[in-house]
Amino acid sequence: MSLERILSGMQISASGLAGERLRMEVVAHNIANAHSTSTPGGGPYRRQRVSFQSAMDRFALGAGHLKSPELGGVQIVGITTDDSPLPQVHDPGHPDANADGYVVMPNVTLPHEMVDLVTATRAYEANLKSMESFRQMAEQALSLLRGLG
């Protein structure tokens, strides 16, 4: 068994940590722009979200034969823009109000962002706990091997 296969659990958790960290950053960016009615690109801010996909690895068995795919954590596919409708709020005194006094607001809802933040935080914590458990098992295995020598 190769060292790479032994450490694959750690690599899977590390990919989850990286993905959830990015997801928390995007949620923070969404919350910070929840009231941005004009952006450098024009128009109000649009909510963003992170897309993931599972990563699959293939280990060679020799002579060019491949084994069935094995789990390899997650890959970040990209950050996409939420194209849901933008709400309009009547605020005639707002600098971005149209002739009828309506302002087109970002499609960011704070309760939705808070749920995303909590789920990303919990997933991050789960991946961190997994890495910690792996480290403890590796330390125990090394101490057992030291006792044999």
More confident: 63 or 105? 105
Q: Is the dihedral of CA 46, 41, 79, 27 positive or negative?
A: negative
The tokens describing 76, both together, are: 């970040």
- pLDDT bin (cut points 50, 70, 90) of residue 2 is low
The pTM for the full model equals: 0.81
Residue 116 corresponds to which amino acid? D
